[in-house]
Amino acid sequence: MILRRFSDWPSFDLRSPFDELERMRRELDRLSGDFTGSVFRLPSAGVFPLVNVTEDPDNYYVRAELPGVKTDELGISVTGDTLTLSGERKLPEENEKASYHRREREAGSFSRVISLPSRLNVDKVKAHAEDGVLTVVLPKAESAKPRQIAVKSS
């Protein structure tokens, strides 16, 4: 009976304000999607290192420019769908009598967590560094790979 009474209410009284809100929310989602959906995005607030993330059907590739960082000084760990990069950039000691004209390169520690769009095959993650650029290859979990489904005609 209660249900019956609810549906007896004039629909515009109760529903229209929420409909309007819902419509606005969807509109905002669409707008923000236009920004976040673009390929180039601004670095998230001050988190080092900046990364470029790409994918092919089998893997995700995370790349970061880390000049002068040795691979054995890097910590790379993977769980579920997240990759954590941490380490320290050390600048070798220079002659202490030297005087600096410019000092723009920075040393310090860093740690960054990157979420990937789907689960990863954590056992098969590989990483290598080349000319100061780190590449982490993260194979997608079997369940996350796109699958071709054959349609049989009866």
Partner 1 sequence: MTETETKSLQAKTKKEVTTPAEQTKPGAVFYPAVDILETERELTLLADLPGVKAKDLKIDLDDNVLTLTADETPLEGSGEKDIFREYRTGRYYRQFSLSDTIDQSKIEAVLKEGVLRLTLPKVEAATPRKITVKAGQ
- Considering the complex, state which of residue 97 and residue 152 has its C-beta at the smaller distance from partner 1: 97
What is the x/- site pattern for partner 1, positions 26-65, by CB under 8 A? Answer: -------------xxxxxx-xxxxxxxxxxxx--xx-x-x
Burial of residue 76, with CB atoms counted within 10 A of its CB: 0-12 exposed, 13-18 middle, 19 or more buried: middle
- Give Rg (Cα) of the chain: 25
Neighbouring residues of 51: CB distance < 8 A, sequence distance ≥ 6: 62, 63, 64, 85, 112, 114
Does 88 interact with partner 1 (rule: CB under 8 A)? yes
What's the min distance (Å) between Cβ of 4 and partner 1? 51
Residue whose structure tokens are 């997240």: 82
What's the min distance (Å) between Cβ of 121 and partner 1? 17
Does 136 interact with partner 1 (rule: CB under 8 A)? no
Choices 2-10, 18-26, 89-97, 119-127 (CB under 8 A): range interacting with partner 1: 89-97
Question: Cα(139)–Cα(56) distance, rounded to whole angstroms?
Answer: 10
What's the min distance (Å) between Cβ of 95 and partner 1? 5
Does 133 interact with partner 1 (rule: CB under 8 A)? yes
- Whether omega before 57 lies within 30 degrees of 0, making that bond cis, reads no
Question: Cα(115)–Cα(53) distance, rounded to whole angstroms?
Answer: 10
Question: Cα(116)–Cα(61) distance, rounded to whole angstroms?
Answer: 10
Work out which of 26, 107, 113, 145 binds partner 1, going by CB under 8 A: 107
- Considering the complex, state which of residue 10 and residue 146 has its C-beta at the smaller distance from partner 1: 146
Binding site for partner 1 (CB under 8 A): 39-44, 46-57, 60-61, 63, 65-70, 88-89, 91, 94-111, 117, 129-133, 135
